Amino acid sequence: MDKNGASAGIHFGLTSGVITTLGLIVGLHAGTHSLLAVIGGIVTIAIADALSDALGIHISKESEGTLSERQIWHATLATFIAKFFMAATFLLPILLLPLNHAILASIVWGLLVIGLLSWQMARAQQVRRWPVIAEHVGIALLVVIVTHFVGDAVARIFA
């Protein structure tokens, strides 16, 4: 695969896979405490949102006019594959652990992935690593906190 297109797709897909899936499972768990709802949400994210993000990257890269058609397709495919598999990894703790423990394990896993991606990116750009890691992990934590409270609110309002 062509590095310019694929690299953008991989980084976007992995980041989106973590943030979207974490937000969804934390919100669904807080609102429903349903294993079935959480599993259904993860599978939906892995398929529908991965396709949506891949199309979004495709159109975005086309509109920039800076990549070749081959690079654009590499970015598209890399985004889909990275998002699909990243989201799917969250099924493991959900299927193997009691739901409350699985949610915590998923949060740890997601923050670890964001931290490692941030470390790798900062290293490649030769900038200080900890500020980049702290920023990205902080945003991910904000997503977790907000979606938890939104799930709680939905349960109170509609239950």
| Cα(76)–Cα(86) distance, integer angstroms | 15
The pLDDT, as a whole number, for residue 3 is 58
- What pLDDT digit, counting tens, does each position of 76-85 carry? 999 999 999 9
The pLDDT, as a whole number, for residue 49 is 96
Q: Decide if 131 contacts 118 (C-beta within 8 A).
A: no
Q: What is the pTM of this model?
A: 0.93
Q: Which of 82, 68, 84, 86 is nearest to 4 (CA)?
A: 68
Give the confidence band of 15 by pLDDT, cuts at 50, 70, 90: very high
Coil, helix or strand at residue 67:
coil
CA dihedral 38, 43, 46, 48 (to 10 degrees): -110
| 8-state DSSP, 90 | T
Token look-up 């070749």 returns: 68
Q: Decide if 16 contacts 138 (C-beta within 8 A).
A: no
Q: Decide if 90 contacts 109 (C-beta within 8 A).
A: yes
- Give me the residue spans of the domains in the chain: 3-158
The pLDDT, as a whole number, for residue 22 is 97
